[in-house]
Structure 1
Amino acid sequence: MTGLRARMTERAQYGSAAEFAYATLRGEIMGGHLQPGHRMREQELSERLQVSRTPVREALSRLQADGLLVMQPRSGLAVAELDDAGVIELYETREALEGTAAQLAARYANPRDIAAMRSILAAEELAPDDPVQQQRHNRIFHAAVLAASHNRFLVKSLQVLHDALTLLGPTTLARPDRRAQAQAEHRQVLDAIEKRDSAAAEAVMRAHVRHGAEVRQHMRGAAAQD
């Protein structure tokens, strides 16, 4: 009964069962609890979430539209997996868009934006040496740069890419050398934004994303050899 009571309390926070199912399943995918390739069975999810199959079906449809689920032959919907070509495409697109976000932030960031980014970097440097914690701070910093661009269309486009990053498995910050490198690159991005040097901000952000892509490819190569 305790689990059911907790689930009902969670459900009460949402306007509908479909919204609850969507938010819960999306959170489980984003948090890595539902791994790429995991089959999404309506009946099983309905029983676990304590809602009927209709809102589950609606939630699954939305998650598929988000690109987080794909239809697999003979097995139905599953959490999406990216192949090597997809990973390259993802990082290339992310490099272009995040570079643009940094460039615009150098032009349009206000004092509140700058202060927020400084605070985030300070917290990042003091965070535990834990990949999950580091990934969370990394996302917050990139979100702050994006917010400082003050471009709503760019925000929407990058949200899709950031969602797709969760499909890649363990964060690149799990690599011991990547944490210090990433933090140094974040500082360089903020320095360029504070100096209103849009060209430098874009170049540094592009290099930052490119370095992450290189680490990701090494990690995928090592996993393939295991």
Structure 2
Amino acid sequence: MKASDKVYESLRRDIVEWRLSPGTVLAEVEQSDRLGVSRTPVREALARLVADGLAVQQRGRGAIVSEISDTHVEDLFVLRRALECESARLAARSTHGADFALLAQRFETAAQQLRAEAATDGYYQLVSELDEMIDTAANNTYLSGALRTLRVHLQRVRRLAKDNPERLLESAGEHAAIARAIASGKPEVAAAATTVHLHQSFEHIMTHAVATERTP
């Protein structure tokens, strides 16, 4: 892996996981010292982060980590609804129904585990697996590419909401419903189940995350 790729992955991970918070100045000299590389790969990585929307260029300050606002979250979810609902429709028309039926059962098992313990790592891995399965079943390169970029921003936004136990349980049920709808081979039911999940996620993030971030 090129040095610039390593720097990019490291900085992107730090931004998504909030080790570099919004408004942090990404000074080339400081980051090159911190990551043990020359300034050139840092400069290339920063340009990629700006292109991704994870950083912005400000005159006199260089690149800084981009802010997250109400409008930012609303715009993300407008795009998310369009992309994920269509992906669910396409997946429901595929021949992967049996795989989604098994995944729905695993989400139901995960819900039971979440009630008993904070098994969040395994749950988030299961969510990623569902995303990947839908991308594969939808079989649309443009959709999956757009969703990969979008999910980086969504991971960052989700960090604001922390791991609310009640919301995780609800989310597990919603993901199970999406998987079962796709398994049933009913595109509009799959899109509707996805819409319900996205509405609930948006409301939770706006109520418990972005609003909290605004509070002095």
TM-score > 0.5 by shorter chain? yes
Map Cα deviations across residues 195-224 of structure 1 (whole Å, 9 max, x no partner): 101110001101101110011110222342
**Counterpart-to-counterpart distance in 1, 2:19 and 2:95:** 36
- Shift in Å at residue 163 of structure 1? 1.2
Paired position in structure 1 for 2:38: 52
Greater relative contact order structure (CA < 8 Å, 6+ sep): 2
Amino acid at match of 1:151: N
Paired position in structure 1 for 2:149: 160
Q: Aligned-pair RMSD on alpha carbons?
A: 2.5
**What percent identity do the matched residue pairs reach?**
30
TM-score, with structure 2 as normaliser? 0.86
Paired position in structure 1 for 2:62: 76
Secondary structure of 2:194's counterpart equals helix
Secondary structure of 2:10's counterpart equals helix
**Counterpart-to-counterpart distance in 1, 2:74 and 2:204:** 12
Secondary structure of 1:174's counterpart equals coil
Paired position in structure 2 for 1:7: none
Paired position in structure 1 for 2:176: 187
Stretch moving more, 116-125 or 81-90: 116-125
**Counterpart-to-counterpart distance in 2, 1:167 and 1:70:** 16
1:1-226 matches, cutoff 5 A: 14=1, 16-110=2-96, 113-114=99-100, 117-118=103-104, 121=107, 124-125=110-111, 126=113, 128-129=117-118, 134-168=123-157, 170=159, 172=161, 174-219=163-208, 220-226=210-216
**Counterpart-to-counterpart distance in 2, 1:113 and 1:152:** 21
**Counterpart-to-counterpart distance in 2, 1:108 and 1:92:** 25
- Shift in Å at residue 23 of structure 1? 2.0
Conservation of the 8 A alpha-carbon contact between 2:98 and 2:183: no
Amino acid at match of 1:225: T
TM-score, with structure 1 as normaliser? 0.82
**Counterpart-to-counterpart distance in 2, 1:112 and 1:50:** 48
**Counterpart-to-counterpart distance in 2, 1:136 and 1:50:** 31
After superposition, the Cα gap between the structure-2 partners of 1:112 and 1:80, relative to the gap in structure 1 and judged at 3 Å, is: farther
Map Cα deviations across residues 151-196 of structure 1 (whole Å, 9 max, x no partner): 1110011112111113325254622321111111111111111110
After superposition, the Cα gap between the structure-2 partners of 1:38 and 1:135, relative to the gap in structure 1 and judged at 3 Å, is: farther
Structure 1 unmatched runs, 5+: 1-13
